[in-house]
């Protein structure tokens, strides 16, 4: 009996493995085509001033309009893209398109573009940023690069040198998802960061006194280091009030707006300063 269940388990395992491998291969091949055929699109989510809702910036978030599959979010393909070694191509594509689109907007709102860790482990990334700016005509001050928190754990010189070069152009560096995994406060000092984005997990649980204390401490620390803060994933009025109290500079989340197409994003930004607006578009 033990034998039979072992066989059964291994058959199930084989099938699962096969299913996973097949899915991975399918996504990988599909993504290579997507890059050639222009199936990747960008949505933009506003980051607004916590006090008055002024639109500070739009974060570009990639979507894959895959024929026959609908619209896929990053969670559905970025991990496989990474394993397949396609992240540099995706990031390069996103950076160039985001700069090109933003340069065409009637409202000169700044943008933020996410780059994956691999981009800082290889040469040419600083050149890529200058090329995207030059090609599009987007002024450097309208671009920020969001870097993942895990990058703080990497002390290879190429990482800090790339970031230094990017900042030297006048492009800001923003630290994404702060507090989610690896947080070394000492590294905040070594990395020159303009903006720190407090991870959504702290915002989601801000009614918990410990989380509230963490958010206040991080916002206070950042302020004393001359770093501005964005709270991510703001979904309720209560969270917004807590974040205003904690003196976070900016907020981003479904309460303010969901990621939306460039057209919607520019309309949103064109409304300019105002109270924190409730706006739902384009889920
Ligand atoms: P992220 O950079 O931290 O982006 C924020 C994510 O949180 C986005 O998910 C956004 O839609 C979601 N979000 C925003 N407000 C709320 C909220 O109030 N509640 C909740 N529950 N979620 C909210 P998205 O677009 O699925 O992107 C997921 C992650 O994928 C991003 O996290 C980023 O790390 C990565 N990503 C997206 N686009 C790119 C890209 O072009 N290049 C790279 N390298 N990574 C990207
Ligand atoms: Mg981001
Ligand atoms: Mg983030
Ligand atoms: Mg996040």
Contact 148, 182 (CB under 8 A): no
Please state which of the ranges 7-16, 19-28, 96-105 shows the lowest mean pLDDT: 7-16
259 Cβ closer than 6 Å to some ligand 1 atom? yes
Nearest atom in ligand 1 to 177's CA: 3
β-strands 111-114, 143-148: how paired? parallel
ipTM above 0.85, yes or no: yes
Question: Which helix (H) or strand (E) element contains residue 70?
Answer: strand 70-72
φ/ψ (deg, to 5) at 272:
60, -145
Q: Which of 57, 91, 93, 114 to mutate to test the pocket of ligand 1 (most atoms within 8 A of CB)?
A: 114
φ/ψ (deg, to 5) at 259:
-60, 140
pTM for the whole structure: 0.92
Q: Where are the alpha helices (DSSP H) in 137-278?
A: 157-168, 185-190, 200-204, 209-224, 237-245, 262-270
Residues within 5 Å of ion ligand 2, judged at the Cβ atom: 114, 146, 176
- Could you report the per-residue pLDDT of 127-165, keeping only the tens digit for each? 999 999 999 999 999 999 999 998 988 889 999 999 999
- Could you report the per-residue pLDDT of 70-83, keeping only the tens digit for each? 999 999 999 999 99
């Amino acid at each position: 009996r033990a034998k039979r269940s072992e066989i059964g388990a291994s058959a199930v395992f084989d099938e699962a493995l096969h299913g996973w491998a097949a899915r991975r291969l399918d996504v990988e091949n599909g993504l290579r085509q997507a890059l050639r055929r222009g199936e990747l699109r960008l949505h933009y989510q506003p980051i607004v001033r916590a006090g008055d809702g002024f639109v500070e910036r739009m974060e570009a978030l990639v979507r894959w309009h895959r024929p026959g599959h609908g619209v896929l979010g990053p969670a559905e393909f970025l991990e496989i893209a990474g394993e397949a070694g396609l992240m540099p191509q995706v990031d390069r594509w996103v950076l160039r398109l985001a700069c090109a689109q933003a340069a065409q907007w009637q409202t000169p709102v700044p943008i933020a573009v996410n780059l994956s860790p691999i981009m800082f482990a290889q040469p040419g990334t600083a050149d890529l940023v200058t090329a995207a700016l030059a090609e599009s005509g987007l002024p450097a001050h309208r671009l920020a690069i969001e870097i993942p928190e895990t990058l703080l754990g990497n002390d290879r010189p190429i990482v800090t040198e790339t970031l230094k070069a990017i900042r030297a152009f006048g492009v800001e560096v923003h630290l994404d998802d702060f507090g989610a995994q690896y947080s070394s406060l000492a590294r905040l000092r070594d990395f020159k960061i303009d903006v720190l984005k407090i991870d959504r997990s702290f915002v989601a649980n801000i009614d918990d006194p410990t989380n509230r204390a963490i958010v206040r401490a991080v916002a206070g620390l950042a302020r004393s280091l001359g770093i501005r803060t964005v709270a991510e994933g703001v979904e309720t009025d209560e969270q917004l009030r807590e974040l205003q109290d904690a003196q976070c500079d900016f907020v981003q989340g479904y309460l303010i707006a969901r990621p939306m197409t460039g057209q919607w994003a520019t309309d949103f930004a064109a409304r300019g300063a105002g109270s924190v607006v409730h706006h739902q578009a384009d889920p």
